[in-house]
Amino acid sequence: MKYQEPKLVFQYCSTIYSVDIGSPDHTVTKLQNPWKGNFADILSCWNGLLFAKVRDYVNPDNYYLWNTMTGDYKTIPEHELDPSVSIKGFGYDFITDEYKVMIADNFAAYIFSMKTNSWKEIKRHGISNGIYHATSCTILHGIPHWMVEYYFTCSTSYYVQSRYDAVLYFGFAEEKFVKMPLPDEIENKKLWGLVVLGDNLCVIFHQIPRDSLAVWTMKEHGKKESWVKLFSVDHRLFQPDNNYPVDILCTTRDGDVVVTMNGTEIGICNVGLDKILQMKTGFAIKSVEFPSARCRNKVVAYREGLVSAFSSSSSTKDFRKKIMSRLFYVICGFVLLLVLLQRKYS
């Protein structure tokens, strides 16, 4: 998974599409998803698994963990807290050896365990009041991260509402939210997003003037002093007539950076000597028409793998054993066929 080219996935209406950015013609493939006929919010992808919230207008809504390569999937029932949640994501608990889904609002947090197949309330979750909005989770080494917007009211002679951005992550071992320390240069500034580039978590924020973004990477997780400015993005290089900044998705096998522009344009870029992201090549998703942006959700990067969505790495090992066992019998049958043909014609 680490050395293969990433793919891009998005949903248009009720159909899931995959874009192979490593192929010469940037092939767009229609995927057979397990929630046929319903619209899904693709929340994140990690370790070969796609995490989505499916809107079902007939039956109760569900979360899905789905391996797009093997077709393996796990349905997770919606929690009663769900209509009010602002934080949702999934990750891996290395202590209990399983994938987990978690949701939270300003007052409560719950975890869904694949082993017990049930939701569990987290009593001391460490989340602060005042969260207005959270981005989709960005996962690094099994740890889900979110960029959150805090709103608070100052009571003086008048009520003044203010806001600031922060980065939270959830440790499954401690079952607690932790606020990520940010570098002094970007603390209390407008954050644009989170992304994993290479093997590190990166934050993106608006520079002044607002026609550029700066990307900072954390070399050691949780250590404030390990933040390093990676490069800057002047979105006018990609969209001269559009003030909407580019979205940074991932890095390729060669270290180039993949970005989206207006949702239908994909750019593959490299970082120049002046630490400015520069266009290397670009292409449009021509195989899919987008008559309405409201029918399409965001583009997410992922890498395919044989990970099972059901419970833990043990189930993944069982799945691999099954594959290897079948492969062994196929090879044995082929060898036997060759021996019989040799005897027949000798």
Coil, strand or helix: which one is 339? helix
Coil, strand or helix: which one is 108? coil
Q: Is the dihedral of CA 172, 248, 301, 104 positive or negative?
A: positive
Give per-residue burial for 301-322: e unless 16+ CB within 10 Å, then b. Answer: bbbbbebbbbbbeebbeebeee
What token pair was written down for 250?
Answer: 């991932």
pTM: 0.81
Amino acid, res. 320: R
**Which residues, at least 6 apart from 289, have a Cβ–Cβ distance to it below 8 Å?**
none
pLDDT in tens, the chain (346 residues): 666 788 998 887 778 888 888 888 888 888 888 887 788 888 999 988 999 988 877 667 789 999 988 889 999 988 888 877 889 999 999 998 899 999 988 888 899 998 889 999 988 777 766 777 788 899 999 999 998 887 765 555 444 455 668 889 999 888 889 988 888 887 666 778 899 998 899 998 876 655 677 899 999 998 999 999 988 887 666 665 555 567 888 988 888 888 887 666 788 888 877 788 887 887 777 666 554 444 456 788 988 888 776 654 444 455 556 677 778 888 888 888 888 888 877 6
d(CA 186, CA 204): 9
* Start-to-end C-alpha separation, the chain: 46
